[in-house]
């Protein structure tokens, strides 16, 4: 079996919604939740030709986006992920 081990730090300051979601889980369930969220993200990007991973979005678009819009997008993404997880 091939495997990759990743040490992951989720900051409450930079990833508030993700931190809150993961922090509410028992420690033994956290890795599985992260794997599920990552899989959902991969499926989204591979099935939607208009989607782009965050690092491929042009810098100009990021600079023009207000902080309020970033917060709104993060909250929306977390809401969609929670709905998807609840339907698994």
pTM for this predicted structure: 0.53
Angle at CA 76, nearest 5°, toward 86 and 69? 170
pLDDT number for residue 58: 47
Where the chain has pLDDT below 70, the residues are: 47-65, 87-88
pLDDT number for residue 29: 92
């Amino acid at each position: 079996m091939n495997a990759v081990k990743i040490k992951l730090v989720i900051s409450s300051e930079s990833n508030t919604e993700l931190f809150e979601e993961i922090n509410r889980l028992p420690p033994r369930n956290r890795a599985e939740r992260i794997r599920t969220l990552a899989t959902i993200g991969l499926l989204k990007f591979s099935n939607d030709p208009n989607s782009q991973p965050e690092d491929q979005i042009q810098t100009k678009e990021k600079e023009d986006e207000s902080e309020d819009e970033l917060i709104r997008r993060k909250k929306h993404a977390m809401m969609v992920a929670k709905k998807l997880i609840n339907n698994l």
